[in-house]
Each structure stands twice: as structure tokens, then as C-alpha cells.
Amino acid sequence: MPELPEVEVIRRELEPLLKGKVFAEPMLQMPSTIEYPSPELFAASLPGREINNLNRRGKYLIINLDRGILTVHLRMTGNLLYVDDDTVSEERFLRLSLPFTDGSALHYFDMRRFGRLWLTETQAELKEVVLKRIGPDILNDLCRDDFLELLGKRERSRIKALLLDQGFAAGMGNIYTDECLYRSGIDPKRRVQDLKKEEAEKLYQSILEVLAEGIKYGGTTFRDYRNARGALGDFQSRLAVYGRKDALCRCGASITKAKVAGRGTYYCPRCQK
Ligand SMILES: [Zn+2]
């Protein structure tokens, strides 16, 4: 499932390719991919709009247009693929084709079909319709003191559950949460109120580092994630704990898998206290 680094990789790749492109008539192979407004209204109002720039909030890709905002959430298996001409090499799982007036196109593929798109007219509408329950972006919107202050308001939460909560801060998913908790030496089952200030600070630092490395190595690909040109990520080979049950940690102990916050969680029982 794409998390913040994977969406950021896509954003950075797509922005120079899409800037100044003008949408032509979209083809909705699976209309229910459009969450808002109706698929009919979406198809009728997208043509003629021009792309200004691309932003991101957590796992949401936010495409700012000359009029309105197109937002994409890839959920489990969504992929955005940019092509110079609008031919589709692989029809399987193609849900939307968004051609541009210059003959290039952005295709949306999604095997599991959970991904969604929204077309909103104003920032206020974007906030109300799409981002109402989404917290600040954990990489761009939170300095260390902000992060510590937010933690202080959620003292009884378990740290793993809190980091996964997109209303607390947006962007972390299961993979990067496990990696950040490992790097900061924190047991994922602990409660926020039991963290020392130094541990919380270490956690914040680890989050910035791990997310930056994830972006640097093009994201993590286990099965489905591809960047906007169809290439695989490379961060999976650098993961310290996620997906590595029974492998040896560098301390010599075996990586353990347990259910925490309802999710399969990987950690080192010796390094993480
Ligand atoms: Zn260890």
C-alpha cells in the first residue's frame, strides 16, 4: 500500500511532466473510482482545465488546476502511469484514462479498486469534502515542537496506533511506522504517556529520516507499487524489520511479528523497549 514516500515519489515525477497540460475528454472505465462529484459531472467539467502544480497531504496527491483541484488517493493498489501518447499497453485493471490535449495521458490502474479521485472547485471544498478528518502532513507540516505537542494530547494512545491514525498526522502506514519505531528503539505496544521526552524526540527524528530515505530510494515495492513511469521502488531491500519475521536483527535477536493496533507489526524485542 502506498504510504507518504511512495506518493511523494509519484508527485515529484509527475509534476514536471504534467505542468501546463490541459485535460481532454476523460474515459471512465470504472466510474465508481470518481468519489466526487458524480462521474457524469466529473467527465463533463474536467476538459479544458490546466494543471498548475502538484501538492501532497499525507497519502493524498493534490493536483492544483487553473480552476479547481483534482485529488487522488491510491489506497491499496492504485497506480498512476504517465504516457507520452495515449495508447494503453495493458488494459488489465485500467480504471480511468485522463488524456491531455497534446496527446499524452495519465492512466489510473487499480487491481483492488479502493482508490478514489475527487474534483473540487475551491480549497474550502477540498477541505470539507476530502481532507476533513486528515491531520497535518507528518513530513512537511510538523516541526518537532508541534509533534511533541500533538503527542501530549493523545497520551493514552498506543504509539503504533497513533502513528497510523491519519487524523493525528497524515502519511504514515504500516511499513514506515514499524521502521520508525525500530530506529527509535521504541516498543510499538507502548503508550504515549510512558515515552520519555528524549524518546519522543528520537521518534520524531527517526520519522523524518526514514521517510526521507524512503523517498530517496524511490519508495517500497512489495507487489504493486510502481512510480509514475512504471518503475519499481528500491526501499524494500533497506527495511530493517518490516516483512523480516525471524530474520536476525543486528543485535543478534530474531525479528518478531505480533498484532498491534490490529496490524501485523514487526519489531526487535531486544532493541525496542
Ligand atoms: Zn535488535
**pLDDT above 90 (res 14):** yes
Task: Assign residue 260 the CATH number of its domain.
Answer: 1.10.8.50
Does residue 172 fall inside a structural domain? Answer: yes
Does residue 258 fall inside a structural domain? Answer: yes
67 grid coordinates = 480552476
Name the active-site residue from 57, 59, 116, 183: 59
Query: From ligand 1's centre to the CA of 119, what distance in Å?
Result: 46
Same domain, yes or no, for 91 and 194?
no
The string of pLDDT tens digits covering residues 101-120 is: 999 999 999 999 999 999 99
Does residue 179 fall inside a structural domain? Answer: yes
Does residue 192 fall inside a structural domain? Answer: yes
- Look at residue 10 in the predicted model and tell me its pLDDT: 95
The residue out of 129, 154, 183 marking a domain boundary is 129
Q: Return the SS3 of 71.
A: strand
Does residue 138 fall inside a structural domain? Answer: no
- Look at residue 230 in the predicted model and tell me its pLDDT: 83
The residue out of 129, 161, 190 marking a domain boundary is 129
- Look at residue 70 in the predicted model and tell me its pLDDT: 98
Better-predicted residue by pLDDT, 237 or 15: 15
**245-266: average pLDDT:** 97
**111-134: average pLDDT:** 97
Same domain, yes or no, for 60 and 113?
yes
2 grid coordinates = 502506498
Query: From ligand 1's centre to the CA of 235, what distance in Å?
Result: 20
- Look at residue 221 in the predicted model and tell me its pLDDT: 84
Query: From ligand 1's centre to the CA of 27, what distance in Å?
Result: 51
- Look at residue 244 in the predicted model and tell me its pLDDT: 96
Task: Assign residue 53 the CATH number of its domain.
Answer: 3.20.190.10
**pLDDT above 90 (res 270):** yes
Query: From ligand 1's centre to the CA of 171, what distance in Å?
Result: 26
- Look at residue 183 in the predicted model and tell me its pLDDT: 98
The string of pLDDT tens digits covering residues 168-211 is: 999 999 999 999 999 999 999 999 999 999 999 999 999 999 99
Q: E strands along 111-253, which residues?
A: 116-120
Distances (CA, A) of 231 to 74, 109, 113, 143: 16, 14, 21, 32
Could you confirm whether 2 is annotated as catalytic?
A: yes
**214-219: average pLDDT:** 94
Number of compact structural domains in the chain: 2
Could you confirm whether 8 is annotated as catalytic?
A: no
Q: Return the SS3 of 50.
A: strand
Query: From ligand 1's centre to the CA of 181, what distance in Å?
Result: 12
Query: From ligand 1's centre to the CA of 184, what distance in Å?
Result: 12
Query: From ligand 1's centre to the CA of 152, what distance in Å?
Result: 28
Name the active-site residue from 37, 213, 263, 269: 263
- Look at residue 118 in the predicted model and tell me its pLDDT: 98
The string of pLDDT tens digits covering residues 20-29 is: 999 999 999 9
Cα radius of gyration rounded to whole Å, the chain: 20
- Look at residue 215 in the predicted model and tell me its pLDDT: 96
Same domain, yes or no, for 255 and 167?
yes
- Look at residue 227 in the predicted model and tell me its pLDDT: 83
Could you confirm whether 263 is annotated as catalytic?
A: yes
- Look at residue 226 in the predicted model and tell me its pLDDT: 82
Same domain, yes or no, for 75 and 101?
yes
- Look at residue 80 in the predicted model and tell me its pLDDT: 94
Does residue 134 fall inside a structural domain? Answer: no
16 grid coordinates = 514536471
Better-predicted residue by pLDDT, 225 or 167: 167
Contacts with 149 (C-beta within 8 Å, 6 or more apart), sequence order? none
The residue out of 129, 161, 184 marking a domain boundary is 129
Same domain, yes or no, for 234 and 153?
yes
Does residue 135 fall inside a structural domain? Answer: no
- What CA–CA distance (Å, rounded) separates 216 from 97? 29
Same domain, yes or no, for 111 and 164?
no
Does residue 242 fall inside a structural domain? Answer: yes
Confidence of residue 238 (pLDDT cuts 50, 70, 90): very high
165 within 8 A of 136, measured Cβ to Cβ: no
- What CA–CA distance (Å, rounded) separates 261 from 273? 17
Instruction: Residue 257: give the domain boundaries.
Output: 144-267
Among 5-9, 69-73, 90-94, 197-201, where is mean pLDDT lowest?
A: 90-94
Query: From ligand 1's centre to the CA of 145, what distance in Å?
Result: 29
